[in-house]
Structure 1
Amino acid sequence: MNYAERALRTLSAGNRTLLRAEDETSLLQEMCRVIVELGRYRMAWVGFAEQDEGKTLRPVAHRGFEDGFFDIAHFTWAEGEGGPTAQAVRTGKPAVVQDIKTVAAPHLPIAITEAIDRGYGSVAAFPLLVEGRVAGNLTIFAAEPDAFNEQECALLGEMADDLGFGIGTLRMRARHREAEETIRHMAYFDTLTGLPNRTSLQQELTSAIEAVHAAHNPLALLIIKIGHFQEISDTLGYEEADLLVREMARRLSQLAGEGQSVARAGEDEFALALPNTSAEVAIRLAQRIMREVCDPVPLGPLTVDPHAYIGVAMFPGHGNTADAILRRAKIAAVQAKRTAAKFALYQGTADQECTRRLALMSDLRSAIDKNELLLYCQPKVSISSGEVCGAEALVRWQHAQHGMIATGEFIALAERAGLIMPLTRWVLETAFRQSHTWFEQGIRQPLSVNLSAQDLRDPHLVDRISSLFATWAMPPEMMQFELTESALMEDPVGALKTLQRLKALGVDLFIDDFGTGYSSLSYLQKLPVDSLKIDQSFVASMLTNAGSAVIVRSTVELGHNLGLGVVAEGVESEAQWDSLRALGCDTAQGHFVGFPIPTEQFVDWEAHCQWRHRPPAGDTTLATAH
């Protein structure tokens, strides 16, 4: 027999097997079959070297005349094991026994006897090198002694190397598939609950909408929000909050049952899409969820009542796309908070208002960047003398499409959009420029600017104001700053430090809306402020409400006792003016004194106003304020 030709034929068939292999098990089995059936060897087997204490060789594939062979002994590659297979694994080199009958292995007499009985004449063992290390063996038995000459061993060794490379390639592919599956799972499933995530939900919802649309059927989407979730998380910690989320996910999945997929749509939100479901059925399910899913949940030492808010949106009634249905179901969940039932079917007005609000946020950012806002001012007048004694800077927004936007609305928009500090910067720069213009015109009236709680937290606020004084060479008495009592109370310690730095610039400071922020007298004494401004809500009702009258009188007395000036906001009538004068209030501001006007009109207003010529109280020739 031409052994080299046999080995070459086996190698060629083995290469074809490698090219067609799809998985490791079938590759090893097919390679053993090729060796025996095409190479006409007596038996072939592949083992993997375990790293256990006994250094086990674990057979994983075999072919040929081997019935019972792998039951005769424990195969090992441990030191002291003299067989060719163990030697090949230990050394990483081929080991050949040309005549099994001559093997001197007293510790394996059964194996030798079994090999002879099976007609094994010679054996060649080759190490399997997988990814740079010996992973196991390829052992081939021939019926004839002296079957494995040098050339045949070289060809079979090449086949063993190819097999090791093939195993490594298949394992690498398997790892890639596992990694891809892990990435895919992470992309489409929530790691905490194992539920489909928002991305998966949108895809499934899109497919479901297409299916029900083709069949002319409806679809309902429920968004279930966990109530007080942030409060629970802040109080008990993230781990307990995660336990709550997992428990709610379990309950919702159990209630939904087979064929209905619950998804985690947000940190505290779940979604349940219901194809071929009417609004009536969806509402009944929402009621059932409120009954069965919202039972108390034990979280550590506490038992938490997981309130839920459920919003329902319908296809096609509330939208034709997955994004539209999702968005409107979320809006409905927010609407549900204001209902006794805690679930709601989407109502369109809130969505329209939300769209308008988002558009206005974008427009406001643009208006700030492009200097399209307007600076107005409202005069302040000394009650005792009738002299104008300054003005408060007010920002206004004339929208190109919507006209003049209410101040309260766009200030709220600025807070939601994170635009308070950019808005304050615009007001500061514009107010300083305007105050400098007045100063150049001989107008010596201070202009006051409002600062918010967010502004007080800005570490660059005082430096920015100091730079503006340097830029415009303004005397500090020409600029004043107003801070609401509630803003000061958000961070009393930080606010005090900021006010001390502002006061060091030489400016006057006012506490605005005094009486609404619950500051203590001890804290008030520490503040380096010059005046209190009585909130307009108290001034407006001081003549009709005894409580408001007491607050106004007490504030005037308190301010004077602390050596502070007192300003009354919202003065709307002569009767209020006279009452404030009788109480000794220092300054008035409001529509009775003067409406807010564009700052460029202030000079003309002051020149023509009649407050400085105001007659004493009781004179019937009272002049009218412009």
Structure 2
Amino acid sequence: MPEQHERELVRLNRALRTLSAGNRALLRMADEQALLHEMCRVIVDTGGYAAASVAYAEHDETQRLRWMAGAGIDIALLEPHLYTWADTPEGRNLVGDCVRSDQAIVGKHIDDPQYALPFADMRAMLLQQGFASFTAFPLHIEGQVVGVLGIAAAEADAFDEAEVKLLGELADDLAYGVANLRTHIQKLEAQATIARLAYFDALTGLPNRTQLVEVLEAAIASAKRQRHSLALLQLEVGHFREINKVLGYRAGDELLQLLGRRLSAEIQADEILARVGEAEFALLLPNGGADYAEQVAQRLLAMLREPVEVAKLTLDPRVAIGIALFPGHADDAESLLRRANVAMHQANLASGGYAIYAGGQEQEHMRRLALMGDLHRAVREHELRLFCQPKVDIASRRVCGAEALVRWQHPQHGSVRTAEFIQLAEEAGTITPLTNWMLEAAFSQIYAWHEAGLDWPLAINLSGHDLYDPRLTERIRGLFATWGIAPELIQFELTESALMANPAAGLETLIHLKQLGVKLFIDDYGTGYSSLSYLQKLPVDGVKIDQSFVMPMVVNGNSATIVSSTIELGHNLGLTVVAEGVESAAIWHRLVALKCDVAQGYLISMPMPAAQCQAWNSTWSQNGLAPA
């Protein structure tokens, strides 16, 4: 009896050594195959077992077993034979029985005829190598047996109850490690998809507008330093909507892909071709003036006049090309793009199919200067109006807050586009007074709602300039003291691009804001260029998926993928995920299925004057809290 007890202790100790070494291997390995090999090596070298191997079970019609790794036994000797876990004579073996039964097959003797090996020469080989007993443990991932960890011992009486319990934990740890590595790879792939879709057009594979603007800005900066010109061509496919209407969207997509390949084949190595609109391409010529730009336009028009076959029909695509030049027409990326677009529309009437931007720049410049001056007056003389767009919690369908928006009703020009006058405010240095007006209006409105029994959190947008304003936090702290409202009723939204302009300063401001007790959201997520590693460092509570991904998600597989991936990644980081641009019931139902948290868009409500929110909320509640 003492000898038996001693043997049991020896076996228990080696199982404990194996489990401990196996857990250390789980922490070190970053590759699935390497993990399998290392675990088998640990079992043999550290644990002192005779052999270890891992087989994966194919869950298809073949029900095949694939040997993935081994130590103490050459799995190359096993690979020539067909192993299966099917309930057939070939599949009635230790490994196959383990998969089918989903139970550990414990301590079976190699020469036990009940567990005969599937091939006659295998028993002799294993006995010759000194294997006496064998135990197989199922590997579980998400409730399915994905494989088997097999361990052989030289002792015929190995694998008692205590030893098997520890080795079973090792098998579970191995399965967890494999699942964790696979999840990590899936997250990396999703992150790569997000990055790719943020900078490349999913249909043509070309750079998108976001990437073109960045490249164009860099090219303009280089041209300024080196004192040379550059040109931007913008191309539009004529009658594209009619092609979509008559032949269908698939035919339209096929046409764009074909034209994209044709154009790519014609450009030089240093030139950048991008898709910048539904049926629009842009071509950056980083070294060239008007003469070279015209030569390129003429060559492209000649090439594009060749008929193309789409949907079994031969089409004669008509293309208009507009040309804008730096520095003659504009000295920044957005202006150059805008003027190339104007020239492109002028080309519809011009001979030759292309036109160089001409005229209008002086009027545009004067108009912008006038609006800049008027914006000072608008802030001072209360021409601005606070609008709100409600947000709805998807699970409960209850209103969970709103986004604060500003509108400018100009006395002469009428309604001025919000994006335009905010850009003007940033350029003119009046963004801080505009932000101050917005903060005052929002705090005042929240107080009025609270007094009326409506406690909606209100989200306020902050620009990049606001983030680097050293007085911002104290100003907000003073507003809390003035109005006496709870911090949870205030949220702030910041775009990725604003944060990435100066990440260190942006992070410092976010930390100070977070100390006030407010919630912070990353706005327009997916259109900027922040990495997930940077996102993890930010003290934010949520992300808002940009509407450019949400709106087409029910008809565009790539958009659906990025929305789904962002929701999953956001939840993995413990963030609330808000979907912007929810304009149809189909989008709503897709977001419900993806377990998105919050929805915002025209399906729920268009932006409305803040004074109308209470009446709208009553109507929403009376209609059963469900979107139409």
- The interval holding the TM-score normalised by the smaller chain is 0.5 to 0.7
- Cα distance in 2 for partners of 1:145, 1:208 equals 75
Mapped to 2, the partners of 1:72 and 1:288 lie a distance apart of 60
Q: Percent identity?
A: 44
SS of equivalent residue, structure 1 residue 65: coil
1:25 to 18, 29, 33: 33
Instruction: Name the counterpart of 2:109.
Output: 99
* Aligned positions of 1:598-613 closer than 5 A: none
Higher alpha-carbon deviation: 185-194 or 244-253: 185-194
CA distance change for structure 1 residues 211 and 75 in 2, over 3 Å: closer, same or farther? Answer: farther
CA contact (8 A) 2:69 2:75 kept: no
8 Å Cα contact 1:331-1:351 kept in structure 2 = no
Residue 181 of structure 1 is matched in structure 2 by: 192
**Does structure 2 conserve the Cα–Cα contact (< 8 Å) formed by 1:84 and 1:96?**
no
Asked whether the 8 Å contact 2:322–2:345 carries over to 1, the reply is yes
Instruction: Call closer, same or farther: CA 1:341–1:354 in 2, change over 3 Å.
Output: farther
> Which residues of 2 match residues 43-442 of structure 1 at below 5 A?
43-66=51-74, 68-71=76-79, 73-80=81-88, 81-106=91-116, 107-256=118-267, 258=269, 260-300=271-311, 302-349=313-360, 352-353=363-364, 356=367
Equivalent residues, number = 376
- Number of the residue aligned with 1:537: none
Pick closer, same or farther for the CA change 1:169–1:227 going to 2, 3 Å: same
In 1, Cα distance between equivalents of 2:159 and 2:232: 72
Q: Please list every run of 5 or more consecutive structure 2 residues that lacks an aligned counterpart in the other structure.
A: 1-6, 384-409, 417-628
1:45 aligned partner, one-letter code: S
Cα deviation, 1:506-551, whole Å, max 9, x if unaligned, reads xxxxxxxxxxxxxxxxxxxxxxxxxxxxxxxxxxxxxxxxxxxxxx
Q: RMSD between aligned alpha carbons?
A: 3.5
Deviations 1:79-129 (A, max 9, x none): 253422222212222112353233444554322222112222221111001
Q: CA deviation at 1:358?
A: 13
Contact 2:67 2:79 in 1 (8 A): no
After superposing the two structures, state which structure 1 stretch, 292-301 or 158-167, moved more: 292-301
Q: 1:301 to 1:125 in 2, by over 3 A?
A: closer
Aligned to 1:502: none
Shift of 1:301: 6.0
For 1:237 and 1:143, the matched residues in 2 are separated by 70
Task: Indicate the SS of the match to 1:71.
Answer: coil
Match for residue 604 of structure 2? none
Cα pair distance change 1:265/1:31, threshold 3 Å: same
Structure 2 distance, partners of 1:114, 1:179, is: 46
Give the corresponding residue for 1:11.
19
Distance 2:254 2:80 in 1: 54
Name the CA distance, whole Å, in 2 between partners of 1:228 and 1:6: 76
For residue 58 of structure 1, report the CA deviation from its aligned partner: 1.0
Residue 50 (structure 1) shift: 0.8
Cα deviation, residue 68, structure 1 = 4.2
User: Aligned pair in 2 of structure 1 residues 5, 242: CA closer, same or farther (>3 Å)?
Assistant: same
Give the TM-score normalised by structure 1: 0.54
Task: After superposition, give the CA deviation of every residue in 1:48-72 in whole Å (9 maximum; x if it has no partner).
Answer: 1112334211112222232643135
Are the equivalent residues in 2 in contact too, given 1:208–1:275 (CA < 8 A)?
yes
CA distance in 2, matches of 1:75, 1:204: 55
1-structure distance, mates of 2:251, 2:369:
34
3-state SS, counterpart of residue 217 of structure 2: helix
Distance 1:134 1:239, change over 3 A: closer
Equivalent residues in 2 for 1:450-599, closer than 5 Å: none
Assess, with a 3 A threshold, how the Cα gap between structure 1 residues 87 and 290 changes in structure 2: closer, same or farther: same
Distance 1:179 1:351, change over 3 A: farther
Question: Structure 1: which amino acid aligns with 2:23?
Answer: N
Aligned mates of 1:192, 1:355 — CA distance in 2: 39
Contact 1:100–1:121 (Cα < 8 Å) also in 2: yes
- SS at 1:314's partner residue? strand
Instruction: Please say if residues 223 and 270 of structure 1, whose CA atoms lie closer than 8 Å, have aligned partners that are also in contact.
Output: yes
Superposed CA offset, 1:338-360 (max 9, x none)? 32122222224257359849989
2:27 maps to 1:41: no
Secondary structure of the corresponding residue to residue 101 of structure 1: coil
Q: 1:176 to 1:122 in 2, by over 3 A?
A: same
User: What runs of 5+ residues in structure 1 fail to find an aligned partner?
Assistant: 371-398, 414-626
SS in 2 for 1:341: helix
SS of 1:187's equivalent in the other structure is helix
CA separation of 1:301 and 1:92: change in aligned 2, threshold 3 A: closer
Name the CA distance, whole Å, in 2 between partners of 1:296 and 1:134. 56
Distance, in Å, in 2 between the alignment partners of 1:64 and 1:214 is: 66
Code of the aligned partner of 1:6? R
Would the alpha carbon gap of residues 148 and 260 (structure 1) be closer, same or farther in structure 2, given more than 3 Å must change? farther
Post-superposition Cα deviations, 1:543-574, rounded to whole Å, max 9, x if no partner, equal xxxxxxxxxxxxxxxxxxxxxxxxxxxxxxxx
**What CA distance in whole angstroms lies between the structure 1 residues aligned with 2:275 and 2:345?**
17
1:284/1:72 Cα in 2 relative to 1: closer, same or farther (>3 Å)? closer
Shift of 1:329: 1.3
The CA deviation string for residues 377-432 of structure 1, in whole angstroms up to 9 with x for no partner, is xxxxxxxxxxxxxxxxxxxxxx978xxx9xxxx9xx9xxxxxxxxxxxxxxxxxxx
**Distance in 1 (alpha carbons) for counterparts of 2:107 and 2:113:** 8
After TM superposition, give the deviation of residue 141 of structure 1 in Å: 1.6
Distance 1:114 1:357, change over 3 A: same
Compute the TM-score of the two structures, normalised by the length of structure 2. 0.54
Q: How big is each residue's C-alpha offset from its partner over 1:472-522, in whole Å with a ceiling of 9 and x where there is no partner?
A: xxxxxxxxxxxxxxxxxxxxxxxxxxxxxxxxxxxxxxxxxxxxxxxxxxx
Q: Equivalents in 1 of 2:355, 2:80: separation in Å?
A: 74
In 2, Cα distance between equivalents of 1:357 and 1:303: 46
Distance 1:217 1:31, change over 3 A: farther
Letter in 1 for 2:72: G
Match of 1:599 in 2: none
Alignment partner of 1:138: what SS?
A: strand
